[in-house]
Amino acid sequence: MDSKGVYGDDRPIAALATPPAESALALIRLSGREAIEMTAAVFSRPRALREAPGHTIVHGWIVKPTAVRKNPAGEGERIDEVLVSVYRAPRSYTGEDSLDISCHGGIAAAKAVLALIRGVGFRESLPGEFTFRAFMNGKLDLTRAESVMELVAAKTDRGREHAVGRLSGALEAEITGIKSLLVQALAGLELFLDYPEDETGFGPGEEAFAGRETAGLPFDRSRAEEALGRLQVLTAGYRRERLYQDGALVVIAGRPNSGKSSLFNLLINEDRSIVTDVPGTTRDWIEAWISLEGIPIRLVDTAGLRDSADPVERLGVARSRDLIGEADLVLYLIDGTLGITPEDRAFFESRTMTADPAPVLCIWNKADVARFSGAAPPGGAPSELSAKTGAGLPDLNGAILAVLEAVSRGSDTAGRSGHTGRAGAGIGTARQKERIDAAVAAVTEALALTGQGKPPDIIAPLFREGINALGEITGEVSAADILETMFSRFCVGK
């Protein structure tokens, strides 16, 4: 049978939901109409599987159909001993009859079981197709569906918490509440448009329409303003949400032998970078992921910044400069035993000539033997640190957090408290942010026009535009091509 499919068809699907590698267990996920009956054809206890209630587990063997080959017990050839978890529609993740087959881990066992499953009529699932079916069958709205992949990709516990909040429906509830306010505001305008002029007391274009509840016009401006305020809080918190999900690129830079590799090892709590007294030991960059107060950080140790005749070192320095250009934050180390050198000053001066440079934290290293004194470098007073002893590390961690949180807020003021206004209701994806921005623009224009006394037939479409934009976030309003693009980014088996 053809194993290819398209989003939206109703053929039963199957996928390996765990990595194809040696492990204690592997899990194969199945879903679709007749999924239980079809699986029974390759199960050693078909009747038990067919009669199993939902949310129960059946033990048995995956076997080849008896028409192919029998064992001495009269069964088909045994492939693997398994546990089959049964979920019956509509009380399943997808809303369809579904099964999870737990077989022994390892590439051969899982592949053999999956091959038999496909042989009885299941097709290979598309990326994210299980979650797509959950959305299409009303089990999840789009915000919860997107949060599934956010949860899979979460790099820190804080990122996981935020994704779980959206999976629990916090963002859906917030969007629904905002949309309800806009619908109530629009209802007054629709009433005005639906009734004849003589019943409302206003003629077309009359200045009496001032965007508030006056002279019998049932438009509650306060509801629209509250909706706009809540939308602005959501959009202001987006950059912070992305920081918890995607993390930040933090690059350690400085002259050779300033202690970059020692700081790298200190921050990751592991001896990863080679540390010697010989300048230029680090010829290329090395990286590691760390978590700082729930923020995932891609930390990079780079080659010392200097002119060199060594072609290998020159290449490493060039790569270091490229990484500095991409960084969200640069930790620039000054060797305290040498003080601020012309090369250090040249680095800070070069930042002033760079378009939109990343912020720089200046660090006075080797403070255990040489405390900071004298004039501060162009980047401001440095933080004192001993990468050798760890003295000053808590203050440095606090400074890193403060800078990253400031970067995530940008010029926004609504999110200065570090919260999005309602726990777990932050925006999780660029798609959600784009639709909320569209709603903000529509409602802002509508409120401006009401204040100018413009007629309702001009203003009402703007409120409808904002409501529809919010409907696209939850999936009440959606297009097939948008859904396919979104779910195709998921893992297979999700």
Per-residue pLDDT at 424: 52
Q: Is 280 left (phi over 0), alpha (psi -120 to 50) or beta?
A: left
Q: In what order do the strands lie in the sheet with 25-31?
A: 56-63, 78-87, 98-104, 25-31, 13-16, 123-124
Q: How crowded is residue 297: how many other Cβ atoms within 10 Å of its Cβ?
A: 25
Which strand (E) or helix (H) includes residue 328? none
Return the residue matching tokens 């997107």. Answer: 146
Q: Does residue 90 have a cis peptide bond before it, meaning omega lies within 30 degrees of 0?
A: yes
User: What is each CA distance from 5 to 123, 230, 368, in whole angstroms?
Assistant: 7, 41, 65
* C-alpha count within 13 angstroms, C-beta hemisphere, residue 335: 17
Taken in order of first residue, the domains within the chain and their CATH numbers are: 13-138 (3.30.1360.120), 171-237+421-475 (1.20.120.430), 247-409 (3.40.50.300)
Q: Which residues of 168-207 are buried (b: 16+ CB within 10 A; e: fewer)?
A: ebbbbebbbebbebbbebbebbeebeeeeeeebebeeeee
Residue 57: beta bridge partners? 85
Per-residue pLDDT at 214: 37
Q: Write out the two tokens for 160.
A: 């996981």
Q: Write out the two tokens for 167.
A: 């999976």
Per-residue pLDDT at 217: 47
Per-residue pLDDT at 279: 46
Q: Write out the two tokens for 439.
A: 């709603």
Return the residue matching tokens 């930390």. Answer: 299
Name the CA radius of gyration of the chain, rounded: 30
Please tell me whether residue 148 adopts helix, strand or coil conformation: helix
pLDDT in tens, the chain (494 residues): 445 678 878 899 999 999 888 889 999 999 999 999 999 999 999 999 999 999 999 999 999 876 444 555 556 689 999 999 999 999 999 999 999 999 998 889 999 999 999 999 999 999 889 999 999 999 998 888 888 888 888 888 888 888 888 888 899 999 999 999 998 888 877 766 665 454 444 444 444 444 444 334 456 788 999 999 999 999 888 878 888 888 889 999 888 888 888 899 899 887 655 444 444 444 457 888 988 888 899 999 887 665 555 555 557 667 777 788 888 899 999 888 888 888 888 888 887 777 667 888 999 999 888 888 777 776 678 889 998 888 999 999 999 999 888 877 654 433 333 334 444 568 888 889 999 999 999 999 999 988 887 878 888 899 999 999 999 998 887 666 667 766 777 777 77
Per-residue pLDDT at 71: 53
Would you say how long the chain is, in residues?
Answer: 494
DSSP state at residue 266: H
Per-residue pLDDT at 482: 62
Closest CA to 335 of 298, 386, 274, 265: 386
Per-residue pLDDT at 305: 63
Q: Write out the two tokens for 352.
A: 């002033």
Closest CA to 147 of 81, 135, 40, 470: 135
What is the full DSSP assignment across 221-254? Answer: HHHHHHHHHHHHHHHHTHHHHHHHHH-EEEEEEE
Per-residue pLDDT at 444: 93
For strand 25-31 and strand 98-104, is the pairing parallel, antiparallel, or unpaired?
antiparallel
